Amino acid sequence: MPPSTANPSARRTELLEAAYQYALVHGLGGLSLRPLAEAIGSSTRVLMFLFGNKDGLVRALLERARADEVALLGKLGRPEKPMGLAAAARELWAWLAADEHRPLLRLWVEAYARSLVEPEGPWAGFAQSTVEDWLKVLAGCQPGAERDGEDGAVRRTLTLAVLRGALLDLLATGDGTRVTSAVHHQLTLMHDPASAGT
C-alpha cells in the first residue's frame, strides 16, 4: 500500500516531478520502472516504496497531468465576470495549439484513450474526470442566463467537442494553420447567430 499522498515527502514530490517530465517525453503506454528509475536517479525499490506499485505511480502521474490541465482551466472560469463561450474557446484553442504544449497533450490523449479501454486499471475515470473539469470551467465562462438556460449544457458540450476533435486532428497532422482556421470558423458559426444563418 502506497504512503499517504495527503502530505507527500519532499523526495516523493521530487521523484514524481522527474517521472512526469520523463512521461511527457516517453509516454505511459510502455512505462517500465527500471529504465524510469535509472533515468530519474532513483531505484525501483524506492519507487515501489513511495508509490506502492507501477499502477500507483501511473495514478500519481495522471493526477499530476490533471493538475496542469486544471491550472489552465482555472484561469478562465470567472463566474462573476464570464467572458462567454466563444472567447473562452479561442483562448483555450490558442493554448492547445501552442507547440510547447504538445508533450502534455499527447500524454493527456494517451491517458484519455487508455481510460476508455482499460476502465478498471490505473487510468480509471480519467476521461470522465477531464470532461467534467472542462464542462465545469466552460459553464463558468457562460453568462448566467445562458449557463442556466435550456440549451446551456448543449452549447458548452458542443464547444468542448469542437476543441477536443480539433486537438486530435492537430496532434495527428501537425497542421496548425488549417486546424486553427477550422476551429475559428466553427466557433463563429456556433456563437454568432447572424453568421449561423448565412
Q: Would you kindly state where each structural domain of the chain is located, as residue ranges?
A: 10-196
> Which triple of cell numbers denotes residue 114?
487508455
Do residues 166 and 183 make contact, with C-beta atoms less than 8 angstroms apart?
Answer: yes
Sequence-distant (≥ 6) Cβ neighbours of residue 158 within 8 angstroms: 190
| pTM across the whole model | 0.80
Q: What is the pLDDT of residues 90-115, one digit of tens each?
A: 999 998 999 988 988 998 899 899 99
d(CA 134, CA 139): 9
Cα angle: 24, vertex 25, 30; to 5 degrees:
90
Is 69 within 8 Å of 108 (Cβ atoms)? Answer: yes
Three-class secondary structure of residue 113 per DSSP: helix
- pLDDT mean over 37-66: 91
Chain CA centroid to CA 154, Å = 21
User: What local confidence, expressed as pLDDT, does residue 7 receive?
Assistant: 55
C-alpha to C-alpha distance for 103 and 138, rounded to whole angstroms: 24
pLDDT confidence bin for 196, thresholds 50/70/90: very low
Sign of CA dihedral 41, 43, 49, 51: positive
In tens, the pLDDT along 15-49 reads: 999 999 999 998 887 888 999 999 999 999 999 99
- 10-196 adopts what CATH topology? Tetracycline Repressor; domain 2 (1.10.357)
Alpha helices in the chain (DSSP H): 10-26, 33-39, 44-51, 54-74, 85-97, 102-117, 126-141, 144-147, 152-173, 176-191, 193-196
